[in-house]
Amino acid sequence: MSMFRRVRGVIQRAYVRALQRQITEGPTHVAIIQDGNRRYAREQGNDAHEGHREGAQTTERVLEWCEELGIEELTLYAFSTENFTRPDAELQPLFDLIESKLYEFADAERTHENSVRIGAIGDIDRLPQRVQSAVEYAESQTAAYDDFRLNIALAYGGRSELLRAARSVAHDVDAGELDPSTVDAETVECRLSRHTTRDVDLIVRTGGDERTSNFLPWHANGNEAAVYFCAPYWPEFSKIDFLRGLRTYESREESWRQSRTKRAVALVRAVAKTEIEDARQVAGRLREQLSPTGAREVSAELSRQHDSPTDSVDSAD
């Protein structure tokens, strides 16, 4: 190994540690659009399936990082409905790889040691029978686990998922099994892909494109998930890239926390102008919804209002 590589390795490890120190409360559910396998392969002078194979190795590393960082759910966009238009010569090796990896993950000691539950989301019936069998095997082998959720999006399309849910609701209403006036978010959500259990906190897309491709529209867009776009192709995706994505989520969350705190302080101040006892009750409810720092700021504002009788209505004359 050259001196340059050794120095670069030392710098990268130090940067990883610095990034990890910045992550205090990371996301619970991360969804990744694994883009760039084919472009990576072309740039290496290889066929597309070689890019997919190297991308599968990245997937294994990401699973390790999730375990290390306490992430509880990971959803991978492995195969979209649009991918069916690719040449058969490319699709068959890709289906072979998906099939073999499903069996491999389902039988891996690490999967069972860490209680990983594997589930597929999407229009699974459109996949070759051998892939469907591999999906069934992986799901059945891990069905009893719930410590970590690994969702694999196969033959998936966000619009198709919402359309299936809407048709299901319409069918039940037409059959008289569902009162239209009772249809709410929960009614729709229970008809979506059964394996996605939490709202998405962070979407990561590799490969340079800055779009989410309608991935998990209900669980991600509905939750206003943070989004991190990065240039490396999926096979090149590193731990540094992953940590930068988590940092993007943390920065967004911190901005939201500050905004919520400012609104809470302003509300306590406004209520205290009229009645300090009402302000105490409002502050009590708000503190339960804020971070510890935000709760302290609300308490400080309440104390200031209590100690400033000249600001109240009673002291107006």
Delimit the domains of the chain by residue range. Answer: 26-237, 256-312
84 among annotated binding-site residues? yes
Paired tokens of 269 = 């101040």
149 among annotated binding-site residues? no
37 among annotated binding-site residues? yes
- C-beta of residue 199 within 8 angstroms of C-beta of residue 223: yes
224 among annotated binding-site residues? yes
Q: Domain 26-237, what fold?
A: Undecaprenyl pyrophosphate synthetase (3.40.1180)
The pTM (predicted TM-score) of the whole model is: 0.78
Q: What is the pLDDT along the chain (317 residues), one digit of tens a residue?
A: 576 677 666 777 787 888 778 787 889 999 999 999 999 999 999 999 999 999 999 999 999 999 999 999 999 999 999 999 999 999 999 999 999 999 999 999 999 999 999 999 999 999 999 999 999 999 999 999 999 999 999 999 988 888 888 999 999 999 999 999 999 988 888 888 666 668 899 999 999 999 998 899 888 876 688 999 999 999 999 999 999 999 999 888 776 667 777 777 787 777 777 778 777 777 787 777 776 777 887 788 778 887 775 444 443 33
Active site residues: 35, 83
Burial 34-67 (b: 16+ CB within 10 A, else e): bbbbbbbbeeeeeebbbbbbbbbebbeebbebbb
| pLDDT recorded at residue 317 | 39
Longest dimension (CA), the chain: 86
306 among annotated binding-site residues? no
The 226-229 sheet, strands edge to edge: 116-121, 148-156, 73-80, 29-33, 202-205, 226-229
Question: What H or E segment, with its residue span, contains residue 140?
Answer: helix 129-142
